[in-house]
Structure 1
């Protein structure tokens, strides 16, 4: 399982999540405490927003703890909204194109979890993509393909609804093709203004997600596991929830797959 951290609020240095805390993201890359595996050494990535609509991005295949460039960038870059990720590969080789976050236009996305039977589902998922989104795919992970599928379903106009349709489509196709479905999905995504996160699993065993205020004036960070031992600060986001972080603070709503358009989508994918 991967580990990630995201922030929205007043501009802060990336190091305040990535390198400085006692249980920073770099610390979690080799000593995660709330994941199946303690080591997340299959690459890392950053996506941050500044004066331009599109995010900056830096990714590499080195373990996060061994890359001096990551520490230097995190110390120098300030941003009001950023995503950071350390990878433990489940699908896709250890290469830069498979490292999160993934970016398309002004949207960024990162994920922790897995899609069972992905080898059977890859082609139906790809079939749903139009030429623009199909050719935007650079890597081989289930995560990037889920991001592109959500974009295809309207992520830009209705973010949570499109993500719910994407998850619902994958579950439905899995049951249709294999007789079973298991999706574990804890993801963060943003258009540079609003930060969204989803925690969901078909078997009620979604990867962890925590939130805590940070940076003042409504700022929050979202993390796979707390960055320190201040247990009163961190709130665990329940399974089956979505988080929306705007300028005025954090909202949480229920999240469940949307099966509304599945008949049409399934026929198109078969």
Structure 2
């Protein structure tokens, strides 16, 4: 389906994240170890926070492993919060507007997984998006529509509750259309200060998700490793699969869990969909 990473911490050059790790995201674009598909070559995207309040975006429909512009950009640009995503389409077209991460104001969103039988439930989901938000939807993916449902349900005020309500709504719509397992997801979203990541599926067999361990412990274990020795103590990564094999560097996020990363702190919370509120009669 897809692979992604969410980084926060000291400013890091993008190629330190995308190219240099032993199992970098660019390597995963050709040979993912834990993904539903080995190859994720249907485009990629990067979102980062720089000098402006609105995050920057770079999207391409080229495979990440062969895009010269990505290599040039990542060798020069650095940021202290980065979202990166490589795409394996589940049926929607390969086009820039379908590449993650998606942006609304200061918010970014990316998704690995699928809303099952999306063509059957798409109309129900689209009709639930707040009318003022609907014109902002540019692409045709289930992932972007999922984002705008979460915004409709209050993502900017309470991300955990909004995503739970969006998932509950999607599951209800899916099951009304005979879909047995409507939601498969790992999702990350950020406002530039905090990152929320979710691992959940309706069938209880979710896509892989990991978070990095305390960076000071990793540095103590591997003091000479070039990719970790200069990182600040508040550095954190949430990833679809580990970027390397350093002992003690990664912890699997349990199924049905939300991880919240702010500064050097990360907290885990149980995650469950919220049942949809019945319409007033």
Residue 262 of structure 1 corresponds to 277
SS in 1 for 2:187: strand
Residue 7 of structure 1 corresponds to 7
SS in 1 for 2:197: strand
Residue 259 of structure 2 corresponds to 243
Residue 208 of structure 2 corresponds to 208
**Given that residues 256 and 271 in structure 2 are in contact (C-alpha distance below 8 angstroms), is that contact kept between their aligned partners in structure 1?**
yes
Residue 98 of structure 1 corresponds to 98
Residues 179/68 of structure 1: CA separation in 2 closer, same or farther (3 Å cut): closer
State the 4+ residue runs in structure 1 displaced beyond 6 angstroms.
none
SS in 2 for 1:131: coil
Residues 132/229 of structure 1: CA separation in 2 closer, same or farther (3 Å cut): same
Counterparts of 1:254 and 1:130 in 2: how far apart (Å)? 27
Q: Superposed, which structure 2 residues align to 1:22-101 within 5 Å?
A: 22-101=22-101
Counterparts of 1:130 and 1:36 in 2: how far apart (Å)? 32
Residues 131/182 of structure 1: CA separation in 2 closer, same or farther (3 Å cut): closer
Residue 230 of structure 1 corresponds to 246
Offset of residue 248 of structure 1 = 3.8
Offset of residue 236 of structure 1 = 0.5
SS in 2 for 1:262: coil
TM-score where L is the length of structure 2: 0.91
Offset of residue 13 of structure 1 = 1.3
SS in 1 for 2:274: coil
* Structure 1, unpaired ranges of 5+: none
SS in 2 for 1:47: strand
TM-score where L is the length of structure 1: 0.95
* RMSD across aligned positions (CA): 1.4
Q: Superposed, which structure 2 residues align to 1:153-192 within 5 Å?
A: 153-178=153-178, 180-192=180-192
